[in-house]
Structure 1
């Protein structure tokens, strides 16, 4: 993709729900923007929680990611600014639930998002395409055609993993899907890293889960661990990322550290 040296595309994927995937997309995007990056979040989840959490009211979603993937609109026409400077979003609507049926028999069904991003980057008239340094794709909690589109369009996969007893359950299925996509659709796809979320230091089990995951995945696990934090949970109801809601809380500080770690890992990946 043109602009690839500057615009990096990361997909946040985990077929398990409730692992902090959308929360991570919102707050990692905000943290990256806060330290000078210009970020686009592509909301691929029909629930549209990333859009809601960034203050995009449903009434403002006249055009959405659905229109991009169905071919009714360009990505440039759909993108909206958010409450966060330098952070933009392609919002979602429930229409995405019907996308798979709509494009199931199309040869390019797995590449709709990649083609849209490629066209966007090549469009010299789209001034925004010159600005984005990161694209974060928030996938639904399932391994369906929407998630396949996200994986096929991305440079790397970022996996949020909750610090709970069944943390590793299903991870092998996700990693197997990533390998399948790499073989058949996107040979350049890599695992960027695994971020441990909802960590409760008072819980001995949570510490054991962290140790187990690090033992299993090694350096693929980010050093930063996202704590369970009430301010992180409250922020979406106000249509704000936690960094705007309460910058000083532990959750905000953790996402700022994660953003720095993501950028450092990007430098290492590019140098490799």
Structure 2
């Protein structure tokens, strides 16, 4: 069975796209067949995997509106994952989908046509709680929430969890809340640890291990159109590889997720 994971947080700047790209590449290193879906009209995931959104003729926009087959839109990447790309046209798809019946199921229908080709599908939801994010959550088996280890990190988390509950009640009763993926983590400070403890206590969220450290390597990799795993050894790539191993063990065998524990 293909495991579909949505990565969502309506707050920007939480390393959501970096998480999807890096997790996808780390899973591909394990021999997993991975599809990543860019649902953000800004096309950041598309760009970070080496494709210029301005030069792409067909994208997820055409797939959602049923103007193109998903098999004709998929792109290969140097990082070993297959990409369903996004372009700025996707901004208009949201308004057009609002006028269609069953609009929340458009992505789920499209992914069903290629699900047998992949072991894992990762969905990069846009930084909003509109129709595109609802499509991602409706198509997913589970949702993970990237959470930056900074002040006000919890802002909007409550609203996102409310949206998840609405989706569970209306369009996807089987949607599971996987937990939070801590990003921009600075192990040298107590502040990062305090933020994660607060979020775990406040929302009852499972915080996944390991935390993803803050490093300039992420920005350098994005600018080069590759993931952080493609460069020389660094702590960001190591953390995503470990997280990918933990998630794959859970997806494949039902192994318990490794939970972050505050240091004594």
**TM-score when scaled to structure 1?**
0.90
Q: What is the aligned partner in structure 1 of residue 169 from structure 2?
A: 183
Match of 2:200 among 214, 225, 232: 214
Number of residue pairs the alignment of both structures matches: 256
What is the alpha-carbon distance in structure 2 between the residues aligned to residue 162 and residue 197 of structure 1? 5
The equivalent position to 1:71 in structure 2, one of 66, 70, 76, is 66
Q: Residue 31 of structure 1: SS of its match in structure 2?
A: helix
| Pick aligned residue for 1:253 from 225, 238, 247 | 238
Q: Distance in 1 between matches of 2:255 and 2:94?
A: 34
- Alpha-carbon contact 1:222-1:261 (below 8 Å) kept: no
Report deviation, 1:80.
Answer: 0.5
Q: Name the residue aligned to 1:28.
A: 23
Gaps of 5+ in 1: 122-128
Runs of 4+ in 1 over 3 A off after TM superposition: 214-219, 267-271
Residue 193 of structure 1, CA deviation:
2.0
C-alpha distance in 1 between matches for 2:133 and 2:104: 9
Which of 112, 117, 122 lines up with 2:111 in the alignment?
117
Counterpart CA distance in 1 for 2:212 and 2:252 is: 22
Q: Secondary structure at the match of 1:10?
A: strand
Counterpart in the other structure of 2:82: 88
The residue number in structure 1 matching 2:154 is: 168
Q: Cα gap change, 1:47/1:164 in structure 2, threshold over 3 Å: closer, same or farther?
A: same
User: Could you state the TM-score of these two structures normalised by the residue count of structure 2?
Assistant: 0.92
CA distance in 2, matches of 1:245, 1:232: 10
- Indicate the SS of the match to 1:157: strand
**Structure 2 residue aligned with 1:41:** 36
**Range 213-222 or range 93-102, more displaced:** 213-222
* Rounded Cα–Cα distance in structure 2 between residues aligned with 1:37 and 1:89: 14
Q: Distance in 1 between matches of 2:252 and 2:179?
A: 14
SS in 1 for 2:208: strand
- Residues 250 and 73 of structure 1: CA distance in aligned 2, closer, same or farther (over 3 Å): same
CA RMSD in angstroms, aligned pairs only: 1.7
Q: Take 2:205 and 2:61, find their aligned partners in 1: how far apart are those partners? A: 36
> Any gaps of 5 or more consecutive residues in structure 2?
257-264
CA deviations on 1:194-217 (whole Å, 9 max, x unpaired) are 100000123331121122233345
Which one is further off, 197-206 or 156-165?
197-206
- Aligned with 2:48 (options 48, 53, 62): 53
